[in-house]
Amino acid sequence: MKLRLSTGLLFVLISARVFAQLPALERVEPAFWWAGMKNPKLQLIVHGDKIAERTVKLTYAGVKLTSVHQVENPNYLFLDLEISAAAKPGTFNIVFTKAGARDLTYKYVLNQRDRSANRAQGVTSKDLIYLLMPDRFANGDPSNDVVKGMRETGLNHDSMYSRHGGDIQGLMNHLDYLKELGITTVWMTPEIENDEPHASYHGYAVTDHYKTDPRYGTNALYKAYVEKCHSMGLKVIKDLVHNHAGTEGWTITDMPMKSWVHQWPKYTNSNFRYTALTDPNAPASDRKQMLDGWFDRRMADMNESNPYVQNYLTQNHIWWVEYAGVDGFRLDTYPYNDPAYMADWAQKVKAEYPHFSIFGEVLDSQVAFEAYFTQGNTVNRGFDTHLPGITDAALKDAIAEALNGKDSWDGGVNRLYSTLAQDFMYQNPMRNCIFLDNHDMSRFFSVVKEDFDKYKSGMAMLLTMRGIPQLYYGDEILMTGYSNPDGLVRADFSGGWPGDKSNKFTAAGRTDKENEAFNYVKTLANYRKSSSAIQTGKQMQYAPQNGIYVYFRYDAKSTVMIVYNSNDKTSTLNTDRFAERTVGFGSGVNVVTKDKVASINELTIPAKTTVVIELKK
C-alpha cells in the first residue's frame, strides 16, 4: 500500500481529549464472542466516561473474570475472561458498579460456532484471486454514497482521491461476471470504516476495527456477501492492516495509554527500508525507524509490542473470521510490523482455523528480501514467522523484464529464469500470491506499452506458473494507467454506475479488443480449474536459449508445456532437449485455440508470444 497525503496530524503523547458527551459505557469490544474457541482467553476493551472508577462483576457458568486492568486513561478498562470448554452459548450480564451511581450493565452474548465446511476454507494454488477496490468497482446502493456525520462526505468522480460511491452491494451484483471469467476468490481492499477527512476510499486507515464502512454497507451485508460468494463456489480474502490505524479512530483520539502507538519527539516517517531488518550490519536506529516510524501522517503506527494492542488486533481478526466466515487474509505492509508479534498472531489464527490462508504484502524485486519474511526461514532470525506466503513482487518484476527487456545473460527472459531458480529460499513457493499489478502500481497493460501480444504472454504466464495467481480488476478488459500518481490506476470499472457510457460487464459493452482480452483470460482461467498440473503440479524450467523460455507444469495425470518466444520474429524450436518432460508424448492441444499440435518435436512460435500446450500421448 502506498499513500501520499498532505493532511495534518493530531500527534500527542496521550490524548487529553474526551469525546463530547462520552457515554458512561460507550462500547465493549469484541461486542460478542463464541463458545468453543481453541483459546479460552478473551480480553475485552471497555470504553466509557471514567469507567475505570467502577468495579466489575459477572456470573455465568464456564466464564470467569480473571483480571480487571486499569490503564493510564480512566476512560478504559481491560477485562480478562477465561471461557472454559464447558461454557454453553448464551447471554450474561457484565455489571459495572460505583458507589452512589446507578449500575451499568452490558449484556454479553456467547454464540454457537458455525462449523460449516465452506467457512475459513483457505485459498490455495487451485484458486484465482480477483483484487478490486470496492469504491471503484460498482455502486449497488446509491443511498449510502454520502453518510451524514462522517468526515468525508464528498462524492466526485472527477477526482481520483475522492470517493466515487462503489460499495459491497455493487460487488454482489456482479459476482456472476467474476464467475464467468473463471475467478474463484475475491479480494477487496479494506471495506472497514475509514472515517478520515481525505482519501478515505482506499480503506487502509481504519478508524473502527469492528465496523464495515457505512458507505460500503453494514456488517450484516458484509456477512451476506461472504455467504453469497460461498453459495456460488467463490472464496473471500479479507485485507488486514496491523501496522497502523487512522488518526481519527476512537482508540487514537482517546488512547488507552501513550504506548498504544509508537511515539517520537517529532513526527517521524518509517525509512521504508526492508534492508534495515535483514542486514546483519544494520544499526538498531535504522531498524527502529523502519518498524516504529509512521507510514503516513494520517496513519498512527500501532505499538505491537504492547500486549493490549496485541490482544485487540488478534481478537478482532479472529472475530471477523468467525463472524463472516472469510477464507484467507492478505496482510498489508507486512515487514513494518513487529516480527515476534506477527509470528504469535499467525499461530493463534491458524490454531482456530487450520485450513485458513495467509499471505503478506512484501514488495521487493529481490527474492532474498521477500523470502526472509516467510515461514521456515529461521537461520538469520532465530524464530519462525509462520507466514505461509508473500505477494511475489520479485516474480512480477521478472515477468515484466521478460516481456520488455532485451535478451542477455541476466536480462530479458533470463531474469525470469533466474528469479524462479531461487525458489529454494521459500519453504513452499506455491503459497506465494503471484501477480502482474495491483492498486499500488502501474497497470499491466500500460507496463507492456499496450502491446497486446505481450499482454497475452504475461497473462499466460500468470495463469500457468506456480503460486496463487491474482488479477487486478479491469486487467481483463485492458484498463490502463500509471502509478504516479496512484489514483490513475484506481479508475472506475465502466458499467458499475448508472449513466456510464458503456457497460464493460457485458460483451456488448466491450470493444472487440476488450472482448478478445476478456475471452483470452477467461479461457486460461477456466482451463486451470480443470488442470491438476497447473493447480498443484510441479514446475520444471529450462535455461533459456536464443530468447526462448520453456517451462512445464506436470503431475501424474497430465503435462502442460509453456513456451515463450521473446524475440521480435517468429522462431522455430527444436524440443529434443526437453525429452525429460516430453518423453512418451507425441502431440498436444493448444489450450487457448483448441487447435491440435500434430507433433511436439518442432514448434513454430510467433514473436512475443506464449503458447500453452497440453501434451498428448
Q: Are residues 312 and 414 in the same domain?
A: yes
- Residues 544/571, Cβ–Cβ less than 8 Å: no
CA quadruple 192, 496, 470, 325: dihedral positive or negative? positive
Residue whose entry in the numeric block shows the C-alpha cell 528469479: 419
Q: What is the pLDDT of residue 8?
A: 34
Neighbours of 589 (CB within 10 A): 15
Q: Which of 483, 507, 533 is the last residue of a domain?
A: 533
Q: Which of 517, 533, 549 is the last residue of a domain?
A: 533
Q: Are residues 503 and 586 in the same domain?
A: no
Report the distance separating Cα 127 and Cα 229, nearest Å: 14
Q: Which of 492, 514, 533 is the last residue of a domain?
A: 533
Q: Determine, yes or no, domain membership for 475.
A: yes
Q: Are residues 436 and 513 in the same domain?
A: yes
Q: Are residues 389 and 355 in the same domain?
A: yes
Q: Determine, yes or no, domain membership for 596.
A: yes
pLDDT for residue 141 is more than 90:
yes
352 CB-near residues (< 8 Å, 6+ apart): 37, 38, 39, 318, 321, 322
In CATH, what number is assigned to the domain containing residue 574? 2.60.40.1180
Q: What are 234-292's pLDDT values in tens digits? A: 999 999 999 999 999 999 999 999 999 999 999 999 999 999 999 999 999 999 999 99
Residue 580 grid cell: 525429460
Q: What is the pLDDT of residue 382?
A: 87
Q: Are residues 465 and 554 in the same domain?
A: no
In CATH, what number is assigned to the domain containing residue 200? 3.20.20.80
Element housing 225 (H / E): helix 219-231
For residue 101, what pLDDT band results from cuts at 50, 70 and 90?
A: very high
Q: Are residues 488 and 579 in the same domain?
A: no
- Residues 38/352, Cβ–Cβ less than 8 Å: yes
Classified as helix, coil or strand, 254 is coil
Residue 473 vs residue 15, higher pLDDT: 473
Element housing 223 (H / E): helix 219-231
Classified as helix, coil or strand, 195 is coil
Q: Are residues 370 and 494 in the same domain?
A: yes
For residue 10, what pLDDT band results from cuts at 50, 70 and 90?
A: very low
Side-chain-side CA neighbours of 576 within 13 Å: the count stands at: 1
Report the distance separating Cα 535 and Cα 525, nearest Å: 11
Section 86-92 average pLDDT: 98
How far is Cα of residue 40 from the mean position of the Cα atoms in its chain? 28
Of 400, 522, 398, 512, give the one whose Cα is nearest residue 449: 400
Q: What is the pLDDT of residue 380?
A: 76
Q: Are residues 145 and 211 in the same domain?
A: yes
The helix-helix angle for 512-530 and 452-462 (nearest 10°) equals: 20
Q: Determine, yes or no, domain membership for 18.
A: no
Q: Are residues 318 and 373 in the same domain?
A: yes
Residue whose entry in the numeric block shows the C-alpha cell 448464551: 90
Residue 46 grid cell: 471497555
Active site residues: 332, 361
- Would residue 367 be called left, alpha or beta, if left means φ above 0 and alpha means ψ between -120 and 50 degrees? alpha
Neighbours of 256 (CB within 10 A): 23
User: Which residues share a beta bridge with 538?
Assistant: 554
Q: Are residues 558 and 600 in the same domain?
A: yes
What is the Rg, in whole angstroms, of the alpha carbon atoms belonging to the chain?
26
**pTM higher than 0.85, yes or no?**
yes
CA quadruple 46, 49, 51, 57: dihedral positive or negative? negative
pLDDT for residue 2 is more than 70:
no
Please count the structural domains in the chain: 2
Helix, strand and coil in the chain, % to nearest 5: 30, 25, 45
Q: Are residues 514 and 546 in the same domain?
A: no
CA quadruple 573, 576, 582, 588: dihedral positive or negative? positive
Domain that holds residue 197: 129-240+304-533
